[in-house]
Amino acid sequence: MSRNPSASPFTVIAHRGGSGHAPENTLLALDTGIKMGAHWLECDVQLHEGALLLMHDLRLERTTNGKGRLADLPLAELRRLDAGKGQQIPTLEEVLDLVDQRAGMNIELKTWNGTAAAVAKVLREYVAQGWPLDKLMVSSFHLPELYEFRQIAPEIPIGVLLCGVPLDWAGCAVELGAVSLNVSDEFLDERLLADAHARGLKVYVYTVNHPEEIARMKAMGVDGIFTNYPERALG
């Protein structure tokens, strides 16, 4: 089964926000993604001292003017760092306030040991205030943490992240009750795509930036992509 373009539009997910145009995982990047027309925004979240911080790497050097491991710095110090163009490392709550339902939010759990519970608590507060469930997705490569999230907040959609091809193809996503398989472009086997679709799952592919690869993904019938350049995939 492949995607029927007239039935379901190709979903464009701004990876780490519109990170081709603004410092990744910052409010500026997320706002940029929205302004470019991305349907969804993806961000990476780490739990630290009770705060949910947007940060992909475990270390600070690549994306901030800080040094060392995020986990080794006090929260107040992390919040004083420059994450690019004068941006602060944002919290999940700041992100949700900024986005304010203007796009779907895919929150990727990068840490464990309580991250699932902390994210579930925050998202439930926003859902209670009117954020629609179909504009939320929680994902992770850490499947036990994702399983824990599922146990705590079964009403919030989840996506299984894969950077490989499991022996049972898309089976783990069904087992977890996920709505989608979010798979690396390096491992997009047609059989994995077909199996996911046969099981009623969406398939979103990361991170697809080159126009030729975007066209290839569309031709293969994937349901959407994560891209740093949303404008290349829209239209």
User: Which residues have a catalytic role annotated?
Assistant: 15, 56
Any contact of residue 24 with Mg ion (CB under 5 A)?
no
CB of 56 or CB of 102, closer to Mg ion: 56
Tell the smallest beta-carbon distance from residue 78 to Mg ion (Å): 19
From candidates 182, 208, 222, 228, binder to ligand G3P by CB under 6 A: 182
Distance between CA atoms of 165 and 173, rounded to whole angstroms? 12
Count of residues in contact with ligand G3P, rule CB under 6 A: 11
For residue 9, CA distances in Å to 101, 116, 128, 176, 202 come to: 19, 30, 28, 25, 12
Residues 156-175 interacting with ligand G3P (rule: CB under 6 A):
161
Q: Is 149 in the site for ligand G3P (CB under 6 A)?
A: no
Taking the least distance from each CB to ligand G3P, the nearer of 76 and 186 is 186
Query: Hey, which residues does 53 pair with through a beta bridge?
Result: 46, 91
Rounded Cα distance, 17 and 6, in Å: 27
Stretch that binds Mg ion, among 81-89, 102-110, 130-138, 193-201 (CB under 5 A): 102-110
Task: Give the residue from 63, 65, 2, 57 showing the smallest Cα distance to 28.
Answer: 63
Near Mg ion in 108-127, by CB under 5 A: 108
**Binding status of residue 42 toward ligand G3P by CB under 6 A:** yes
Closer residue to ligand G3P, CB minimum distance, 77 or 222:
222
223 interface partner picked from ligand G3P, Mg ion, none, CB below 5 to 8 A per type: none
- 179 closest CA partner among 104, 90, 89, 124: 104
Which residues contact residue 175 at a Cβ distance below 8 angstroms, ignoring those fewer than 6 apart? none
- Do 138 and 119 form a contact (C-beta atoms < 8 A)? yes
Shortest reach from residue 28's CB to Mg ion, in Å: 17
Tell how strand 11-14 and strand 40-48 pair up: parallel
Q: Which is nearer to ligand G3P, 63 or 182 (CB)?
A: 182
Cβ(159)–Cβ(137) below 8 Å? yes
Q: Which does residue 206 touch among ligand G3P, Mg ion, none (CB within 5 to 8 A, set by kind)? A: ligand G3P
Least separation in angstroms between CB 141 and ligand G3P: 7
DSSP β-ladder status, 51-54 and 40-48: antiparallel
Which residues contact ligand G3P (rule: CB under 6 A)? 15, 42, 44, 56, 108, 139, 161, 182, 206-207, 226
